[in-house]
Structure 1
Amino acid sequence: MKTHQNAAKPPRLGQPPKKDYLLIGVSVATIMATVLALSAYPEQSARTADHLFKLATTLLSSPILVVFLAFVAGSLFIIFSKYGNIRLGSGKPEYKTVPWIFMFICAGLSSATLYWGLVEWAYYYKTPGLNIPANTPAALEMSISYAFFHWGFGTWACYAIGSLAMAYYFHVRKHATLSLAGIVEAITGLKASGPAGRLIDILFLIGTFGGLTVTLVVTTLTFSNGLSNLTGLPNTFALQAGIVVVIAGIFSLSSYIGIDGGMQRLAIMVCWGALACALVVFLVGPTLFIVDNTVGGIGLMFSNFLRMSLFTDSAGNGEFTRNWTVFYWFWAVSYTPAVSMFVTRVSKGRTMREVAAALLIGGSVSCWVVFGSLSGYGIHQFLQGHIDVPALVASQGGEVAITALLDAFPMSSLATAFYLFVMIIFLASHIDASAYTVAATTTRNLQDGEDPSPLLRLFWCVMLALVPLTMIATHVSLKTVKTSVILTSIPFLALLVVMAYGLVKWLRADYADKTAADIDEESRLKLVMDAPLPPSPEAARLGEIAGETAR
């Protein structure tokens, strides 16, 4: 699928890549100690987590809402301004457009999309935002709009800003280290090899595990419930452990093969599978209702976008904003470092406009298509009195409601099997991308065009499976896991603001005095060049200073 399979790699500069055993050891020890503590003291952990969740979301509610709205504005600015045509590196894009978009949509999404796509609206119907009365037609009408909102522009703008900053740092500024600590060093001067840089890398790894644990736990419980209903097997921990092992085997094999042979194929399979799920439900289900509900939901979301973006509920208790919007934004923040590094790796030769538009628009629209179809089917079943989805979600959990919805679908056994297949492949593809970025972070001296070793990617795949499996076995509450996501994401939020500042600073230094025609011409020349253009004077001077400091 590559456009120039036989293109020669640039000559290596500096030392060969090597595993960062200190970072690996400290990260693994910290993660396992945290998991064991949560498992050994579940009740105390749950109480502490509940208190910390309320404290963090209350204090940071307004700041994160403002930051995410600014990310949306910044992404749109890149798309429509002269800066959008800045090319990220020289030469033609390495991957064709459709596989390229599919790969980072899979990196930014997860199998949880299929879970929330069917039942998220039911939560909003019972506990709506914007002070709408619960269990009313207005709450039901707004429920799909909030799903579109949470899985739309805000989440993908966060990914876009992080990815653009990282890609500019790596492909345009030509810094050799693809890591979160590396870009922070380039912006602030804090050494990536110093205590601050090491702490950033450790927090990145812990945060990535926390975000993925939420996804893997939700997916495993949903999958085991559906598989039990389909096959008659008892829904026990043994079944759940077997599911995790199968998932780990799939993404471990894909990760070992690499991006071109494994991840790219998984991404294509997953995205077409998710779209196929939405299409089948659209065609076989209540087609006209799905269209009307989706169009109306998107219209409501756009007409209320600013209010939803900045709704703090200052006159009330703010519970909806804390439990949903603020958590979703922190969850997106926990994914952003991994997504940004992965997007950077596969986006050489693309323009900033392509990256921003593919993430902001491509990612949002893909979510709206999936959510519009799946949620429309669930809402229609509720309105027709066939399945009381909100009641099932409240009393027995979302996985039980999903099983009931699949049972009510025509050819239910086949529909359930296909749904579960897409879900498990989706999760494998998502964790595959995350394992790649974790392996890249724990590899020193990794340069442009180089990948971390297959064995290291395989090691992190195994670790990514062991942590949630332990959480499921010891019945650590999902609320506790969600709290850990928020706490580990707080430093990332500050780092994302620093990255956004660095991107603005670099754009002003490198391109503020250039016209749109100048940038277009430079972009055109880069497209046909295999050798990189000389760095800007400021970038060259920063490189000299970094070299002198290193010496």
Structure 2
Amino acid sequence: MKTKLQNAGIGLVFAVSGLISLIIAFWGFVFPANMEQIMNAALETVIDTFGWFYVMSTAVFVAFCFYLGLGPYRFVKLGDKNDKPEYSYFAWIGMLFAAGMGVGLVFWGVAEPMSHFVNPPNGIEPGTQEAAETGLLYGVFHWGIHPWAIYAIIALGLAIAKFRKNLPGLISSIFYPIIGDKIYGSTGKWIDVIAVISTVVGIATSLGLSTMQVGGGLSEVMNWENTNFLQMTIILLVTIVFITSVLTGINRGMKYLSIGNLALAGVLLAAAFILGPTLFIMEHFTKTVGAYISSFVSLSFYTTPYTDNDWVGEWTFFYWAWLISWSPFVGTFIARVSKGRTVQEFIFGVLLVPTVVSALWFVAFGGTGIYLDMTEEAGLAEVVSSSPEVGLFLILETFPFGFLLSILGLLLITVFFITSANSATYVLGVFSSRGDLDPPKVYLIVWGLLISSIAAALLLSGGIEGLQSLAITIALPFTILILIMLAAIHMSLKEGYRQEALGTKEKGEQ
């Protein structure tokens, strides 16, 4: 019965979500000024009306994760009771980091702390020690536990549905404890449509940021002007590469590229520690982690009821909305590599280890930029604030062998760009074909073209502001779905806890 219903649903999610995505891309290309105007108005409305909702929801996601990691269901396995993890702990952690950070961390690792340094919140005087400390603190906060809690919830729900209930690897399957077989009907299809549209926007935002940074890198390294033409050319070339790779099934090559890119990121991080202000970095890492821990709760609930929402909207609201949009893709990948782990092992592995690595990255690169501005009056922060895509390269150029390191940085971003787009196209193909792990090639081609087209349209209609506007607006309905998802996950874990307890009891009686 379920197979018949699944087959009947093939095509509908693809058709509806594909049409909506096509309309967004067409709108941005044909009427860029109109899109920019309307998206800015929508952004302002959502920030003023629902900004608090993003903050509160994300805080709830974090609390729920800690509850699961420490609560009664912490020893429930993501799979059968006797399943063992498929990957070693270190390999698993490495794959988590590659999936969840990648492009965003490389883009914002310098750009965010230095932007806050010259434009801090809460009336802090720009360019001061307090502004420097606040900039690094907010960088770690925005890329620490909170985004990983969002990813963890999606991944946990998918892992339970797939490995414990043998359901399709779809967002709608997570809701089985609440709606039952309706996941195969219209209710499930609309859930998947919302998930697919949200994912498309999140991915397009990431690809847009990657395009800006590759263009910025070529501008700094090769002295090419970072024009719209250059950015469109970059998107075209990368689209040809990742669509070709996903169609020809060069997944093993993509896996090795991802592993190699992690090693490359490690080389750049080590270079920042060794060639940069090492003592300053280590002392500031200690200080920033301490400030992060001590202000964790207040930062989690920070809103601005007595002033406008411009700063928090541009940063915190954007991040939470963008990461919520991006989460189905990241969650799918994390779920696939987490079979056999207990809930506790999963939660704390996903939340804590990548947070530490992210903190190291922000303090190493962002801290180096701030150090140069405060001690040598390098004037980097003003440039980075207005052109965030060049931040990483400005820092790398200050090191010995700066040109070589900048080339490596450009390679790092490009490979992250290609591997993320490749994986995202495949995940969208699976989502829109009722969980088929071998989705039709036409689906893959269409999704690859659509996400690239939307990224291009957003860049043409408003640059980074256009990317932020669409991400914050589109993420709203999916945020509501995740809140409902918490109840479904709790119900599934409660059932799994009872089953494992009963199995242990029966085994003991025998």
- Is the structural similarity TM-score above 0.5? yes
1:500-515 equivalences in 2 (<5 Å)? 500-511=486-497
Which residue, 130, 139, 142 being the options, matches 1:138? 130
Q: Does the 8 A contact of 2:199 with 2:327 survive in 1?
A: no
* CA displacement at 1:418 relative to structure 2: 0.4
Residue 467 of structure 2 corresponds to residue 467 of structure 1 = no
* CA displacement at 1:201 relative to structure 2: 2.1
Match of 1:26 in 2: 16
Residues 408, 103 of structure 1: alpha-carbon distance in 2 compared, 3 angstrom cutoff: same
Looking at structure 1, the residues matched to 250 and 3 of structure 2 have their Cα atoms a distance apart, in angstroms, of: 23
* CA displacement at 1:370 relative to structure 2: 1.5
Q: Does the 8 A contact of 1:440 with 1:452 survive in 2?
A: yes
Match of 2:116 in 1: 124
Which residue, 454, 472, 475 being the options, matches 1:486? 472
Unaligned runs of 5+ in 1: 1-11, 523-551
Match of 2:366 in 1: 375
Looking at structure 1, the residues matched to 448 and 139 of structure 2 have their Cα atoms a distance apart, in angstroms, of: 30
Residue 282 of structure 2 corresponds to residue 291 of structure 1 = yes
TM-score normalised by the chain length of structure 1: 0.83
Which letter does structure 2 place at the counterpart of 1:497? L
Match of 2:191 in 1: 200
Q: Secondary structure at the match of 1:349?
A: coil
1:161-172 equivalences in 2 (<5 Å)? 161-172=153-164
- What do residues 272-305 of structure 1 show as CA deviations (whole Å, max 9, x unaligned)? 2222211111111111111112211111111111
Which residue, 207, 214, 229 being the options, matches 2:220? 229
Which letter does structure 1 place at the counterpart of 2:403? S
Looking at structure 1, the residues matched to 441 and 256 of structure 2 have their Cα atoms a distance apart, in angstroms, of: 17
Which residue, 37, 42, 49 being the options, matches 1:59? 49
Range that drifts further, 100-109 or 184-193 = 184-193
Range that drifts further, 300-309 or 21-30 = 21-30
Q: Does the 8 A contact of 1:148 with 1:301 survive in 2?
A: yes
TM-score normalised by the chain length of structure 2: 0.89
Q: Secondary structure at the match of 1:147?
A: helix
Which letter does structure 1 place at the counterpart of 2:32? P
Q: Does the 8 A contact of 1:49 with 1:480 survive in 2?
A: yes
Q: Secondary structure at the match of 2:183?
A: coil
Match of 2:340 in 1: 349
Which residue, 382, 403, 410 being the options, matches 2:400? 410
Residue 61 of structure 2 corresponds to residue 71 of structure 1 = yes
Which letter does structure 2 place at the counterpart of 1:247? V
Match of 2:76 in 1: 86
Looking at structure 2, the residues matched to 516 and 113 of structure 1 have their Cα atoms a distance apart, in angstroms, of: 44
Residues 187, 436 of structure 1: alpha-carbon distance in 2 compared, 3 angstrom cutoff: farther
Range that drifts further, 152-161 or 73-82 = 73-82
Residue 247 of structure 2 corresponds to residue 247 of structure 1 = no
Looking at structure 2, the residues matched to 93 and 242 of structure 1 have their Cα atoms a distance apart, in angstroms, of: 42
* CA displacement at 1:189 relative to structure 2: 4.5
* CA displacement at 1:495 relative to structure 2: 0.7
Match of 1:274 in 2: 265
Which letter does structure 2 place at the counterpart of 1:92? K
Q: Does the 8 A contact of 1:102 with 1:267 survive in 2?
A: no
Match of 2:150 in 1: 158
Q: Secondary structure at the match of 1:443?
A: coil
- What do residues 198-237 of structure 1 show as CA deviations (whole Å, max 9, x unaligned)? 3322222222221122222222122123223323444444
Looking at structure 1, the residues matched to 442 and 29 of structure 2 have their Cα atoms a distance apart, in angstroms, of: 29
Looking at structure 2, the residues matched to 40 and 284 of structure 1 have their Cα atoms a distance apart, in angstroms, of: 48
Give the helix-richer structure, 1 or 2: 2
Of all paired residues, the percent bearing the same amino acid is 25
Looking at structure 1, the residues matched to 150 and 111 of structure 2 have their Cα atoms a distance apart, in angstroms, of: 24
* CA displacement at 1:368 relative to structure 2: 1.3
Q: Does the 8 A contact of 1:220 with 1:243 survive in 2?
A: yes
- How large is the Cα RMSD of the aligned pairs? 3.0
Looking at structure 2, the residues matched to 134 and 190 of structure 1 have their Cα atoms a distance apart, in angstroms, of: 56
Range that drifts further, 283-292 or 66-75 = 66-75
Which residue, 485, 488, 499 being the options, matches 1:499? 485
Which letter does structure 2 place at the counterpart of 1:465? S
Residues 249, 293 of structure 1: alpha-carbon distance in 2 compared, 3 angstrom cutoff: farther
Looking at structure 2, the residues matched to 346 and 157 of structure 1 have their Cα atoms a distance apart, in angstroms, of: 17
Residues 37, 349 of structure 1: alpha-carbon distance in 2 compared, 3 angstrom cutoff: same
Match of 2:296 in 1: 305
Looking at structure 2, the residues matched to 436 and 251 of structure 1 have their Cα atoms a distance apart, in angstroms, of: 10
Pairs aligned (count): 504
Q: Does the 8 A contact of 2:425 with 2:447 survive in 1?
A: yes
Which residue, 159, 163, 166 being the options, matches 1:174? 166
Residue 134 of structure 2 corresponds to residue 149 of structure 1 = no
Q: Secondary structure at the match of 2:494?
A: helix
Q: Does the 8 A contact of 1:142 with 1:300 survive in 2?
A: no
Range that drifts further, 416-425 or 22-31 = 22-31
* CA displacement at 1:98 relative to structure 2: 3.3
Which letter does structure 2 place at the counterpart of 1:29? L
* CA displacement at 1:17 relative to structure 2: 7.5
Range that drifts further, 262-271 or 14-23 = 14-23
